[in-house]
Structure 1
Amino acid sequence: MTETQPARIPSTGSVRELGPIGWIIAKLGARVIRAPRFHLMDVIGQHRLLLLAWLPYSGVLLNWGKLSRKDAELVILRVGHLRDSEYELQQHRRLARSRGLSDETQAAIFAGPDSDGLTDRQRVLITATDEFVVTRSMSQETWSALASHLDRKQLIEFCMLAAQYDGLAATLATLRVPLDFRD
């Protein structure tokens, strides 16, 4: 979000707007990401029921799914890159580093599947993410390649993860959620 594009739904830290549970989630989330505010939670938290439904789903995909955390971060970074989601990239570049994706590997992820320094598995995940996000489907060739690396549960989760972060990127852009960090 730029200074010339104000937020469409103002970020709030108000207990009245977020409710006590949403307020606690936003405060704890800010502490976890080490930021003064967690603007995503400050915005989504204004729809209390939606926040309470969405948060566990997101948490499973991000932290407790069948894909490795490293693979999940690769997919999230690629979706953020494809959707030019500065918010997602700002959050997940940091998290990806903590999950084993170096700055060099991240640069390769952004450069695409033909970039040097990627494993075959990473190339397939990037190609599959590109097709899924851009075409809303996947060719049989790409699906077969992905299926050679992932089991059934991981294949399902891959689709849900890519769709979740694609939708989140659209939501962040449409609502113009402010960045949490200055960098």
Structure 2
Amino acid sequence: MKLSQPRITPIGEDEWTDEQRESLEARSRAGHVYNVIGTMARHWEASKKFQVWAYHVMGDTSTLVPRERELLILRIGWQCQAEYEWGQHVIFGKEAGLTDEEIARIKAGPEADGWDPFDATLLRAADELHADAFISDATWAALSERYNTQQFMDVVFTVGQYNMVSMALNSFGVQLDDGVAGF
């Protein structure tokens, strides 16, 4: 973790408005609100708008299959050194079919031995977006072998979304949730 203590603490249940209570209780897991959600709730109006977009990227309206989406998210989380993001998405990545070996290899990047060529291309796209805010022609051409226009857009949207989330998590000092391993 970049910070050992939060700069912005998650909103406490005793601080919730009625609207927040309804929303946060619905999104809790076993009575626990994830630290990221509780922290974002400190800016409630922004949080409500953020949720709409976040649910596109992580939800059913994204055109990316979950495994490929998680490759992108884990790579940008690693590139941004966002330990909270990494820890949460290791869980989601495993649910989407990523193996422990693949998750470990994401840290090494697209040139690591053992990647399927298309998976390596996805990681390369995340790296290029992180470094240059641009997908190179060569990577675009490789993606075009399988992806349509909306999928191209969702690659950029996913990496961009989680780049921003990583900035927020790192800067706000969002701490790992109980039971979630970091790097």
Q: What is the TM-score when the length of structure 2 is the normalising length?
A: 0.89
Q: Deviation per CA, 1:109-159, whole angstroms, max 9, x where unpaired?
A: 221112233211101000111000111112211221222221100001110
Q: Distance in 1 between matches of 2:18 and 2:11?
A: 13
Structure 2's unaligned 5+ residue stretches are none
Query: Which shifted more, 21-30 or 65-74?
Result: 21-30
Task: Say if 1:40 and 1:177, in contact at 8 Å, map to a contact too.
Answer: yes
Deviating 4+ runs (over 6 angstroms): none
Query: Which shifted more, 85-94 or 135-144?
Result: 135-144
Aligned residues: 179
**What is the aligned partner in structure 1 of residue 172 from structure 2?**
175
How many angstroms does 1:15 deviate by? 4.9
- Residue 44 (structure 2) aligned to one of 45, 48, 54: 48
1:102-181 mapped onto 2 (5 Å cutoff): 102-181=99-178
2:108 partner letter: A
2:12 partner letter: G
**What is the aligned partner in structure 1 of residue 90 from structure 2?**
93
Q: Distance in 1 between matches of 2:154 and 2:107?
A: 22
Structure 1's unaligned 5+ residue stretches are none
1:167 partner letter: M
- Residue 25 (structure 1) aligned to one of 8, 23, 26: 23
Q: Distance in 2 between matches of 1:57 and 1:15?
A: 27
How many angstroms does 1:169 deviate by? 0.2
**What is the aligned partner in structure 2 of residue 7 from structure 1?**
6
How many angstroms does 1:14 deviate by? 2.8
Q: Which has the higher contact order (CA 8 A, sep 6+)?
A: 2
Q: Deviation per CA, 1:14-72, whole angstroms, max 9, x where unpaired?
A: 353x42333343344330xx684411111111212111111121111112110001111
2:153 partner letter: I
Q: For residues 180 and 131 of structure 1, do their structure 2 counterparts lie closer, same or farther at Cα, with a shift above 3 Å needed?
A: same
**What is the aligned partner in structure 2 of residue 59 from structure 1?**
55
Q: What is the TM-score when the length of structure 1 is the normalising length?
A: 0.89
Q: Aligned-residue CA RMSD in angstroms?
A: 1.9
Q: Distance in 1 between matches of 2:149 and 2:86?
A: 28
Q: Distance in 1 between matches of 2:119 and 2:86?
A: 18
